[in-house]
Structure formats: C-alpha cells, structure tokens
Chain A
C-alpha cells in the first residue's frame, strides 16, 4: 500500500497545483506549483513520509525513461529541423557550454564574496 499512498500523494499535489494555477491565473506550470506546495508541506512536517520517499525515489531514478516518448517526437519535426539544423545545433551547443561555464563561475564568485564578508567564527 505504501507505493499506492505515495503515488496518490504525488497525483493529488499535481492536481491541486494544476487547479490552483488555472484558478489564480498564475504563469507557472501546474506540476511546478504542486512541487512547491509539496516542498512547503515537507518543511512544515519536518520529515519525508516513507510512502512518499518510495514513490518519489522510484519515479526519479528512471527519469530518463519519461523523456523517451517526447524524444521520439523528433520524427514529426524532421522538416523544420532539416531546414534550420545549423542554427538549432549551434544554439544548443554554444548555449550549453556558455550556460554551464557562467553558472559555475557565478556560484564560485558569489561564494568567495560571501566567505570574505562572513566573520571567521561562522566559517
């Protein structure tokens, strides 16, 4: 039953998220609102129920599988990709390299700044 409880909980939070963003006209996808609500619930609760850690762990450990049906969709877009393959390919490669490097640098830089300002006893 643990698995059922866990999955029910995830679906219920997604449902509340989907209904909530539509009712309040928020610019956030429903599942993200659901994630945020579940996160706040866990903070209030102070622990992760076993049923939830089982179902969440199961889903997240094979996250890759869930991308496959969307990935196969590439066959539908063969024409557009054929016509614009160069801009698409270069945009993906250059942007991936740049995003990764800049994100890492910003994190390193900010951490050095924070460390410099923080008194020694807090380190």
Chain B
C-alpha cells in the first residue's frame, strides 16, 4: 500500500463512526479482561483503564474528541434505555422496599441533599468558580440524569459526566473500607449508601460483594435519580 493510499484510508477511518465505536468496545473488552485477571480490584475499574487507553490512542493518532464521539455516541446513547431498564430491578425489590420504605426514603432524601451540597460547599470554600460548583453538584447521580441536571442548573454536562464516573470509582474503591471502619455490616444499609453515593459504578461493585447489596444499591441509584431530578434544580437555584 502506497503512502497516499494509506493516507486516504486514514482520512476515511478517522472521520468514520466505525473507528470510534470499535476502539471503544476493544478498549473496554481489554480493560475488562485485565480487571478479571487482576482479581477485580476497584482501582483497575474497567472504566478507568478503558478511558486511559482511549485517551492515549486519540492523542497518539491525533483524533479529536468530537470525531471520536461520532462513533462512541452509539454506546453513549444506550445510557437512556439503560436508565429506563432500572425499572426492572426496582420492581424486583418491591418486597424489600415495602418492608424498609421509611428508612430507605429518609436515607435517599438526606443522601441526595448531602451529596450535592457537600460537593458544592467544599468546592466553594476552596475557591472554585460557580460554573465548576454547579458542574460538581450532581456528581453522585447516574450519568444520564446527572448530565440533564447539570444542563438545567447551568453546569457543564460533559464535565459532569466525567466527575460522575470519577465519583463512582471513588465510591467503589472507598466503600468497602469505609463500611468496615464505621462497623456497618448490614448489606441493605451498605447497598443503599453505595447506590446513593456511587450510582451504577458503585452498584456494579456492590453486586460483586453480595447480591443483596447489589440489589439495594440498584434500588438506591434509581430512587436517587428520581429524587435528584426533582430536588436538586430547586435546591441549587439560590447559588446561581
């Protein structure tokens, strides 16, 4: 293949959605494999490794994020149907929800407010711009909902998405140790706290620790998405 043919091929590939989509799936598969081989350590979370691999690839091949997203948007799009799909685990938890509805409701409402206000408060004390504070506020909410809230309150939705992912990983990494330190052993309590704080990434981690913890975490993530969408825009309106 001559240089000019190679150049033409590269021009085609770097502008086609096919490349962005394929490298996303390849990077995630490789990252997931590494995660399994390394004994599912939360620090090697497949999202972290896949994102690092993809950024390295895009930098080396000089492809911009916008071109990459042309392809990756097909994966990103699935966040919407995945949010709708949360209705299924939520429905399956109805017996537990009925039994524990008051503690779960109280924990969700307080947790959602503490999650947003503490992030805004710390960032404000340390002199972050208002824009950054608002972008941080929905960081504990599952990504599609957090991005919607961020847009609504005047943050940067795409940066919010990144902060949501980082928060999820932090929660997944810190969770187990924090619960041990606080002497919390009950799987339902651990699951609710994990889901409120660390949404889907925390829920994925919770399912590894126990099915019950995972189910409660999924329930908390769904409830938090709903409560945050209803409460946060009003709660944060005084900031703007």
Point out residues on A near B: beta carbons under 8 Å.
7, 10-11, 13-14, 17, 27-32, 34-36, 38-39, 42-43, 48, 52-53, 55-57, 59-60, 63-77, 80-81, 84, 86-88, 90-104, 106-108, 110-111, 114
Contact = CB atoms under 8 A, between A and B. Distances in A.
B197 A100 contact: yes
B103 A31 contact: no
B123 A29 contact: no
Contacts of B190: 104
Given A13-B87, A28-B226, A65-B24, 4 more contacts: A27-B152, A32-B148, A92-B119, A114-B102
A123 B74 CA distance: 49
The secondary-structure label for the interface of chain A is helix
B204 A64 contact: yes
B55 to A, nearest CB: 5
Contacts of B178: 97, 100-101
Contact of B80 (A14, A80, A88): A14
B27 A68 contact: yes
Interface of B: 24-25, 27-28, 45-47, 50-51, 54-55, 58-59, 65, 68-69, 72-73, 75-76, 78-92, 94, 100, 102-104, 106-108, 110-111, 114-115, 118-120, 122-123, 126-129, 132, 136, 139-140, 143-145, 147-149, 152, 156, 158-159, 161-168, 170-171, 174-175, 178-179, 182, 184, 186, 188-190, 192-194, 196-198, 200-201, 203-204, 218, 222, 225-226, 229-230, 233-234
Contact of A70 (B132, B158, B198): B158
B174 A32 contact: no
A64 B84 contact: no
A92 B111 contact: no
Most buried by B among A7, A88, A110: A88
Contact of A29 (B58, B68, B82, B149): B149
B159 A107 contact: no
B88 A94 contact: no
B78 A95 contact: no
Nearest to B54: A72
A60 to B, nearest CB: 6
B72 A110 contact: no
Contact of B51 (A32, A74, A86): A74
Given A35-B86, A64-B45, A91-B123, A77 B156 contact: yes
Contacts of A107: 103-104, 106-107, 188-189, 192-193
